[in-house]
Amino acid sequence: MALQIGDLAPDFELPAVRGEEKMQFKLSDHRGKNVVIAFYPMDWTPTCSTQIPTLQQNLERFAAQGTQVVAISTDSIPSHIAWQQKSIGSIGFPIASDFFPHGAVAKKYGVLREEPPVAGVSNRATFLVDKTGKLAFAKIYEIKHQPDPEEIFAVLKTL
């Protein structure tokens, strides 16, 4: 993986939705807060349908520690909205669409899968960006592995 702990997290701006509300998410707007960036492969797939609600369940704990959460996949905004409405429920943090140029932000973070069997989606990966914009945690998971939010809380304690 190209990015290392302590590196400045690459800035990005993507269209996003929070629930059904469309917005832009720009990483550098959150300087002064910690930011959890949760990359996931695809809307409508089983592991992702647990990963994102798990972050939702912990949203107040993240907020209490001055931490913003954002999820990112290569799906479109209409897909993100329908996925919440018809599958995972309304999510209270932005879900960003890294749709076009396809996976450009995933690529910046070194997590775009470019080879079969599942090409063109992001790996499941979690990054924690600290208040100064530096990476405090970075982990790529097996595609079927469920990230444990306690890993992030453990790092937040040290910041």
Partner 1 sequence: MPLKVGDIAPEFELPAVIGEDRTTFRLADHRGKKNVVLAFYPLDWTSTCTNHIPTYQSALEQLAKLDAQVAAVSVDTLPSHIAWQQKSIGMMGFPILSDAYPHGAVAEQYGLLRKGDPIPGISERAVFVIDKSGKVAFAQVYQLNDVPDIDDVIEALDTLK
Cα separation of the two ends of the chain? 23
Residue nearer to partner 1 on the CB measure, 49 or 65: 49
Tokens 């592995």, residue located: 145
Q: Which one of 102, 134, 144, 145 is in contact with partner 1 (CB under 8 A)?
A: 102
Q: Which one of 3, 82, 155, 159 is in contact with partner 1 (CB under 8 A)?
A: 82
| Residue 50 binds to partner 1 (criterion: CB under 8 A) | no
Task: Note the residue count of the chain.
Answer: 159
| Residue 117 binds to partner 1 (criterion: CB under 8 A) | no
CA distance 107 to 98: 10
CA distance 26 to 14: 7
Residue 9 annotated among the catalytic residues of the structure: no
CA distance 120 to 7: 25
The count of chain residues that interact with partner 1, using the rule CB under 8 A, is 22
The catalytic residue positions are 48
Binding site for partner 1 (CB under 8 A): 42-45, 74-79, 81-83, 86-87, 99-102, 119-121
